[in-house]
A and B are shown apart, each in its own frame.
Chain A
Amino acid sequence: MTGADVLLLAVGAVAVGAGVLVVTTKHLVRAGLYLVVCLGALAGDFLVLSAELVAWVQVLIYVGAVVVLLLFAVMLTRAPIGASDDLDRPGWPAALIGGGAGLGLTVLLVDAYRWGTVALPRAGTAERLGEQIFQSWVLPFEVLSVLLLSALVGAIVLSRPDIGRPGPGADPAAERPGVDVETGGRR
């Protein structure tokens, strides 16, 4: 057991423990905060595995942006402060499938790698990863930028109530009694 192993064990235990709390806690807001702990521990894992850039991007995007978005959603859906009892459904199937997937993967990976050691590669600094992305992976990078744009447009269209409604001919308000046809069209 080297120092790296001890560190990996420690941050791994923190990540799994926080993950357990994310899926079992009764408090909506606390689930988001435990998610911060879990993702931060994973960023530590990445650092120990010498993936510097991925670790900092994880902190920036996951801990900084995604969790804040999730907490916004919790607040916007008027989540109760305090414990709520209706968050779970009775879940033996969930425990069975989730436990089966987790333990199955564990057995598979332990069987594949046993207790062997590998040498850590050179650190994945921004310079080296940038060289790889802009030499070998340019096309996926560009496709991802298009995908981000379409996700942005899709999110805007989804959340604007006045876009994407049926036109005057197909408006269900036209068939409702009490609403005259002229005002039942597009607003």
Chain B
Amino acid sequence: MRPVIPYVTAALLFGLGVYGVLRRRNAVLVLMSVELMLNAVNLILVTADTTARAVLPHSGQVFALFVIVLAAAEIGVGLAIVLQLYRLRATVAVDDVALTEPAHPVDRREPAVLDREAGR
């Protein structure tokens, strides 16, 4: 088995993930690119498990499992943030998000709640 093949695959996938994170405007596509990067790291960990003889056997694969768990947690919280952003701003384009607070305070509650209050 030649380890350079999966290593190069992982390096190219990581580059693709970086490209996608910087290029895409849609927040869901940015999350998909982050998944590509995390999987490239997983592939490197599993391949390193075959090339490096560590004191503890299978450490690389154990770490790959841990990274998979971390990615699952990340995607859960990330999607909650994306859906909340869509609910507040009706857009998921990451470069439409204001990085500073608006000068005059905006009521950021849901339109349905505001309607209910205005009708009272």
Contacts and interface: CB of A to CB of B under 8 A. Distances in A.
A29 to B, nearest CB: 10
Contacts of A16: 9, 12-13, 16
A83 interface: no
A118 to B, nearest CB: 5
Interface string B47-81: 10111000011110110111011111111110111
Interface residues of A, number: 101
A129 to B, nearest CB: 6
Contacts of A50: 50
Contacts of A137: 62, 66
Dominant secondary structure at the A interface: helix
Contacts of B33: 22-23
A129 B62 contact: yes
A161 to B, nearest CB: 6
A147 B11 CA distance: 28
Contact of B23 (A65, A94, A119): A94
Interface string B18-55: 11101111101101110110010011001101110000
Interface of A: 1-2, 4-5, 8-9, 12, 15-16, 19-20, 22-23, 28, 31-32, 35, 38-39, 42, 45-46, 48-51, 53-54, 57-58, 61-62, 65-66, 69-70, 72-74, 76-77, 79, 86-89, 91, 93-95, 97-103, 105-106, 108-110, 113-122, 124, 128-129, 132-133, 136-137, 140-141, 144, 147-148, 151-152, 154-156, 158-159, 161, 165, 172-173, 176, 178-179, 183-184, 187
